[in-house]
Amino acid sequence: MNERVFTVLVLCTGNACRSQMAEVILNHDLGDRVRALSAGTVPQAKVADGAVEALRLVGLSAADLYPRNVDAVIDEEIDLVVTVCDNAKESCPTFPRPVPRMHLAFHDPHGGPLENFIRVRDEIRARLVPAVREALGLSDSPCPPRVT
């Protein structure tokens, strides 16, 4: 059976920490059913070293990550937008078609010690992965879920 793969956009302000870690974690943990992308409303110049290292410590690669503006993905067929910071929630753009949205705020570890990135990485895995799974109706059943 060919199961549908949902596209999830994780949106943050700088697209340098939280949204990048969320993209990698969602693609790893839900990769058979979810294609995660990330973008920022005001992207930084590069992904934060702490985010890259926090991912590396659990065996996840950040090699292909780079900050991108939400305009670069606005025309994608997105099934769910997840904002992970309050600023991105407030300035979330209007998409060409209606897209369900979810907001889960995470502390911004940028500029802090590696431990802050690790804590946020673990919170993303503990809170965001199950929330996306639930929002998209993903389960272990063989029936394809529907987004409403």
Q: Is residue 114 classed as helix, strand or coil in its secondary structure? A: helix
Tell me the one-letter amino acid at 51. Answer: A
Q: CA-CA distances (angstroms) from residue 31 to 19, 28, 51, 108, 112?
A: 16, 5, 20, 25, 29
Q: Which of 92, 102, 114, 118 is catalytic?
A: 92
Residue 125: which region, alpha, beta or left (left: phi > 0; alpha: psi -120 to 50)? Answer: alpha
Q: Which of 8, 48, 81, 85 is catalytic?
A: 85
Q: Which of 12, 26, 34, 62 is catalytic?
A: 12
Specify whether 17 is catalytic. no
Specify whether 12 is catalytic. yes
Specify whether 85 is catalytic. yes
**Catalytic annotation, residues:** 12, 85, 92
